A and B are shown apart, each in its own frame.
Chain A
Amino acid sequence: GAGVSQSPRYKVAKRGQDVALRCDPISGHVSLFWYQQALGQGPEFLTYFQNEAQLDKSGLPSDRFFAERPEGSVSTLKIQRTQQEDSAVYLCASSLGGFRPDSNQPQHFGDGTRLSIL
Protein backbone atom coordinates (compact mmCIF):
# COMPACT_ATOMS: atom_id res chain seq x y z
CA GLY A 1 0.00 0.00 0.00
CA ALA A 2 0.94 3.63 -0.24
CA GLY A 3 0.73 4.48 3.45
CA VAL A 4 2.36 3.40 6.70
CA SER A 5 1.10 0.02 7.80
CA GLN A 6 1.16 -1.27 11.36
CA SER A 7 0.36 -4.75 12.62
CA PRO A 8 -1.34 -6.08 14.53
CA ARG A 9 -4.06 -3.46 14.95
CA TYR A 10 -4.97 -4.89 18.34
CA LYS A 11 -2.89 -6.95 20.71
CA VAL A 12 -3.94 -8.39 24.03
CA ALA A 13 -1.27 -9.95 26.21
CA LYS A 14 -0.97 -11.17 29.76
CA ARG A 15 1.32 -9.34 32.13
CA GLY A 16 4.83 -10.72 31.81
CA GLN A 17 4.55 -11.79 28.16
CA ASP A 18 6.73 -10.38 25.41
CA VAL A 19 5.13 -8.60 22.45
CA ALA A 20 6.38 -7.45 19.05
CA LEU A 21 4.79 -4.66 17.06
CA ARG A 22 5.55 -4.19 13.39
CA CYS A 23 5.75 -1.07 11.25
CA ASP A 24 5.99 -0.96 7.45
CA PRO A 25 6.90 2.62 6.50
CA ILE A 26 6.35 4.26 3.16
CA SER A 27 8.88 2.87 0.70
CA GLY A 28 11.97 5.05 0.44
CA HIS A 29 11.33 7.02 3.61
CA VAL A 30 14.52 7.65 5.52
CA SER A 31 13.11 8.60 8.90
CA LEU A 32 11.02 6.41 11.17
CA PHE A 33 9.56 7.36 14.56
CA TRP A 34 7.81 5.34 17.25
CA TYR A 35 5.37 6.96 19.69
CA GLN A 36 3.32 5.82 22.65
CA GLN A 37 -0.11 7.38 23.08
CA ALA A 38 -2.08 6.98 26.28
CA LEU A 39 -5.82 7.57 26.27
CA GLY A 40 -6.64 11.26 26.07
CA GLN A 41 -3.01 12.32 25.63
CA GLY A 42 -0.81 13.41 22.78
CA PRO A 43 1.72 10.93 21.37
CA GLU A 44 4.94 10.61 23.39
CA PHE A 45 8.21 10.16 21.49
CA LEU A 46 9.91 6.79 21.98
CA THR A 47 12.66 6.44 19.41
CA TYR A 48 13.95 7.64 16.03
CA PHE A 49 15.67 5.82 13.16
CA GLN A 50 17.46 7.30 10.21
CA ASN A 51 17.64 4.41 7.77
CA GLU A 52 18.91 1.48 9.87
CA ALA A 53 20.61 3.66 12.49
CA GLN A 54 18.79 4.25 15.75
CA LEU A 55 19.87 7.83 16.38
CA ASP A 56 17.72 8.51 19.41
CA LYS A 57 16.14 6.16 21.93
CA SER A 58 15.83 8.64 24.74
CA GLY A 59 12.05 8.22 24.96
CA LEU A 60 12.03 4.47 25.61
CA PRO A 61 10.54 4.18 29.11
CA SER A 62 12.68 1.26 30.30
CA ASP A 63 15.15 -1.34 29.17
CA ARG A 64 12.20 -3.64 28.52
CA PHE A 65 11.56 -1.66 25.34
CA PHE A 66 13.65 -2.39 22.30
CA ALA A 67 13.32 -1.23 18.68
CA GLU A 68 15.12 -2.20 15.53
CA ARG A 69 15.13 -1.43 11.82
CA PRO A 70 17.82 -3.76 10.52
CA GLU A 71 17.52 -3.09 6.78
CA GLY A 72 16.35 0.48 6.96
CA SER A 73 12.75 -0.29 6.07
CA VAL A 74 10.49 -2.40 8.32
CA SER A 75 10.80 -1.69 12.02
CA THR A 76 9.82 -3.73 15.05
CA LEU A 77 9.13 -2.46 18.55
CA LYS A 78 9.53 -5.17 21.15
CA ILE A 79 8.37 -5.01 24.73
CA GLN A 80 9.63 -7.63 27.12
CA ARG A 81 7.94 -8.72 30.35
CA THR A 82 4.96 -6.46 29.69
CA GLN A 83 3.39 -4.50 32.53
CA GLN A 84 -0.10 -3.01 32.80
CA GLU A 85 1.30 0.50 32.38
CA ASP A 86 2.47 -0.52 28.90
CA SER A 87 -1.16 -0.53 27.75
CA ALA A 88 -1.45 2.21 25.12
CA VAL A 89 -1.63 2.84 21.41
CA TYR A 90 1.76 2.57 19.72
CA LEU A 91 2.10 4.75 16.65
CA CYS A 92 4.70 4.55 13.92
CA ALA A 93 5.45 7.38 11.51
CA SER A 94 7.82 7.81 8.59
CA SER A 95 9.07 10.83 6.70
CA LEU A 96 10.97 11.23 3.47
CA GLY A 97 14.22 12.83 4.57
CA GLY A 98 16.43 12.93 7.59
CA PHE A 99 15.07 14.72 10.63
CA ARG A 100 15.68 18.43 11.15
CA PRO A 101 13.49 20.55 13.43
CA ASP A 102 13.26 23.42 10.95
CA SER A 103 12.66 21.45 7.78
CA ASN A 104 9.24 20.81 6.30
CA GLN A 105 9.19 17.03 6.65
CA PRO A 106 5.67 15.90 7.49
CA GLN A 107 5.43 12.58 9.24
CA HIS A 108 3.04 10.02 7.79
CA PHE A 109 1.38 7.94 10.47
CA GLY A 110 0.04 4.44 10.62
CA ASP A 111 -3.24 3.71 12.41
CA GLY A 112 -1.37 2.33 15.40
CA THR A 113 -1.40 -0.85 17.43
CA ARG A 114 -3.65 -0.83 20.47
CA LEU A 115 -1.91 -2.86 23.15
CA SER A 116 -3.83 -4.09 26.19
CA ILE A 117 -2.03 -5.82 29.03
CA LEU A 118 -4.21 -7.92 31.31
Chain B
Amino acid sequence: SQELEQSPQSLIVQEGKNLTINCTSSKTLYGLYWYKQKYGEGLIFLMMLQKGGEEKSHEKITAKLDEKKQQSSLHITASQPSHAGIYLCGAGANTGNQFYFGTGTSLTVIP
Protein backbone atom coordinates (compact mmCIF):
# COMPACT_ATOMS: atom_id res chain seq x y z
CA SER B 1 0.00 0.00 0.00
CA GLN B 2 1.07 3.58 -0.45
CA GLU B 3 2.34 5.46 2.57
CA LEU B 4 2.35 9.21 2.98
CA GLU B 5 4.52 10.55 5.75
CA GLN B 6 4.01 14.13 6.91
CA SER B 7 6.33 16.33 8.89
CA PRO B 8 6.21 17.91 11.28
CA GLN B 9 3.49 16.09 13.19
CA SER B 10 2.50 19.31 14.93
CA LEU B 11 3.41 22.93 14.66
CA ILE B 12 2.83 25.93 16.94
CA VAL B 13 3.63 29.30 15.42
CA GLN B 14 3.13 32.94 16.28
CA GLU B 15 0.67 34.82 14.09
CA GLY B 16 2.44 36.36 11.13
CA LYS B 17 5.14 33.71 10.86
CA ASN B 18 5.75 31.58 7.79
CA LEU B 19 5.69 27.80 7.96
CA THR B 20 6.18 24.71 5.78
CA ILE B 21 4.60 21.27 5.97
CA ASN B 22 6.09 18.35 4.05
CA CYS B 23 4.55 15.19 2.62
CA THR B 24 6.69 12.29 1.38
CA SER B 25 5.33 9.31 -0.51
CA SER B 26 6.72 5.76 -0.44
CA LYS B 27 5.68 5.31 -4.07
CA THR B 28 5.56 7.33 -7.26
CA LEU B 29 3.08 10.15 -7.13
CA TYR B 30 0.72 10.75 -10.04
CA GLY B 31 -1.10 13.50 -8.25
CA LEU B 32 -1.15 14.92 -4.76
CA TYR B 33 -4.00 16.58 -2.87
CA TRP B 34 -3.92 18.87 0.12
CA TYR B 35 -6.85 19.07 2.51
CA LYS B 36 -7.54 20.90 5.75
CA GLN B 37 -9.62 19.54 8.62
CA LYS B 38 -11.01 21.32 11.64
CA TYR B 39 -11.86 19.33 14.74
CA GLY B 40 -15.17 17.51 14.43
CA GLU B 41 -15.59 18.39 10.77
CA GLY B 42 -14.94 16.88 7.41
CA LEU B 43 -12.00 17.67 5.16
CA ILE B 44 -11.90 20.77 3.01
CA PHE B 45 -10.10 20.58 -0.34
CA LEU B 46 -7.25 23.10 -0.71
CA MET B 47 -5.51 22.21 -3.96
CA MET B 48 -4.29 19.41 -6.19
CA LEU B 49 -0.93 19.09 -7.91
CA GLN B 50 -0.66 16.94 -11.00
CA LYS B 51 2.77 17.42 -12.51
CA GLY B 52 6.30 17.47 -11.21
CA GLY B 53 7.45 20.98 -10.51
CA GLU B 54 3.89 22.27 -10.41
CA GLU B 55 3.17 25.02 -7.93
CA LYS B 56 -0.24 26.33 -6.96
CA SER B 57 -1.35 29.10 -4.65
CA HIS B 58 -4.58 29.90 -2.90
CA GLU B 59 -4.61 33.08 -0.86
CA LYS B 60 -1.54 32.74 1.39
CA ILE B 61 -1.06 29.02 0.90
CA THR B 62 1.34 27.66 -1.73
CA ALA B 63 1.95 24.01 -2.55
CA LYS B 64 4.64 22.42 -4.71
CA LEU B 65 5.16 18.95 -6.07
CA ASP B 66 8.59 17.37 -6.55
CA GLU B 67 7.84 14.19 -8.47
CA LYS B 68 11.42 12.92 -8.46
CA LYS B 69 11.64 13.16 -4.71
CA GLN B 70 8.07 11.92 -4.35
CA GLN B 71 7.46 14.90 -2.11
CA SER B 72 5.15 17.84 -1.76
CA SER B 73 5.40 20.87 0.45
CA LEU B 74 2.74 23.26 1.69
CA HIS B 75 3.88 26.74 2.62
CA ILE B 76 1.81 29.29 4.53
CA THR B 77 2.93 32.90 4.45
CA ALA B 78 2.11 35.29 7.29
CA SER B 79 0.03 32.75 9.21
CA GLN B 80 -3.27 33.76 10.80
CA PRO B 81 -5.42 32.08 13.47
CA SER B 82 -7.82 31.07 10.68
CA HIS B 83 -5.07 28.81 9.30
CA ALA B 84 -5.21 26.63 12.40
CA GLY B 85 -6.31 23.04 11.85
CA ILE B 86 -5.02 19.72 10.63
CA TYR B 87 -3.42 19.60 7.21
CA LEU B 88 -3.54 16.32 5.32
CA CYS B 89 -1.94 15.28 2.08
CA GLY B 90 -3.62 12.58 0.02
CA ALA B 91 -2.98 10.55 -3.11
CA GLY B 92 -4.65 7.84 -5.12
CA ALA B 93 -3.10 4.41 -5.42
CA ASN B 94 -1.25 3.72 -8.66
CA THR B 95 -3.30 0.55 -9.11
CA GLY B 96 -6.75 -0.07 -7.76
CA ASN B 97 -9.14 2.52 -6.43
CA GLN B 98 -7.78 3.25 -2.98
CA PHE B 99 -7.06 6.74 -1.76
CA TYR B 100 -4.50 7.31 0.96
CA PHE B 101 -3.99 10.15 3.39
CA GLY B 102 -0.92 11.23 5.24
CA THR B 103 -0.51 11.15 8.98
CA GLY B 104 -1.57 14.79 9.30
CA THR B 105 0.05 17.96 10.64
CA SER B 106 -1.69 19.83 13.43
CA LEU B 107 -1.18 23.59 13.16
CA THR B 108 -1.79 26.02 16.00
CA VAL B 109 -1.42 29.76 15.37
CA ILE B 110 -1.04 31.91 18.46
CA PRO B 111 -2.49 35.42 18.11
Q: Which residues of A contact B101 (CB under 8 A)?
A: 35, 42-44
- Our count of residue pairs bridging A and B at CB distance below 8 angstroms stands at 71
Q: Which residues of A contact B93 (CB under 8 A)?
A: 101
Q: Which residues of B contact A99 (CB under 8 A)?
A: 92, 97, 99
Q: Could you tell me which residues of chain B, from 78 to 111, have a CB within 8 Å of some CB in chain A?
A: 88, 91-94, 96-104
Asked whether B100 lies within 8 Å of A45 as measured between CB atoms, the reply is yes
Q: Which residues of B contact A111 (CB under 8 A)?
A: 40-42
Asked whether A33 lies within 8 Å of B99 as measured between CB atoms, the reply is yes
Please, what's the 1-or-0 string for A81-118, where 1 marks a CB less than 8 Å from any CB in chain B? 00000000001010000011111101111111010000
Q: Which of B31, B35, B98 contacts A104 (CB 8 A)?
A: B31
Task: Choose among A40, A101, A102, A114 the residue with the greatest number of B CB atoms under 10 Å from its CB.
Answer: A101
Asked whether B42 lies within 8 Å of A106 as measured between CB atoms, the reply is no
CA distance A33 to B97 in the complex (A): 10
Q: Which residues of B contact A59 (CB under 8 A)?
A: 98
Asked whether A42 lies within 8 Å of B88 as measured between CB atoms, the reply is yes
Q: Does A62 contact B (CB under 8 A)?
A: no
Task: For the complex formed, measure the closest distance between the CB of B29 and the CB atoms of chain A, giving whole angstroms.
Answer: 9
Q: Could you tell me which residues of chain B, from 17 to 66, have a CB within 8 Å of some CB in chain A?
A: 30-31, 33, 35, 40-45, 48, 50
B residues near A, CB below 8 A? Answer: 4, 30-31, 33, 35, 40-45, 48, 50, 88, 91-94, 96-104
Q: Enumerate 23 A-B pairs (CB-CB under 8 Å) in ascending A order.
A: A4-B42, A35-B101, A42-B4, A42-B102, A43-B101, A44-B101, A50-B97, A59-B98, A93-B42, A101-B31, A101-B91, A102-B30, A102-B31, A104-B48, A104-B50, A106-B33, A106-B45, A108-B45, A109-B43, A109-B44, A110-B42, A111-B42, A114-B40
A residues near B, CB below 8 A? Answer: 4, 33, 35, 40-45, 48, 50, 55-56, 58-59, 91, 93, 99-104, 106-112, 114
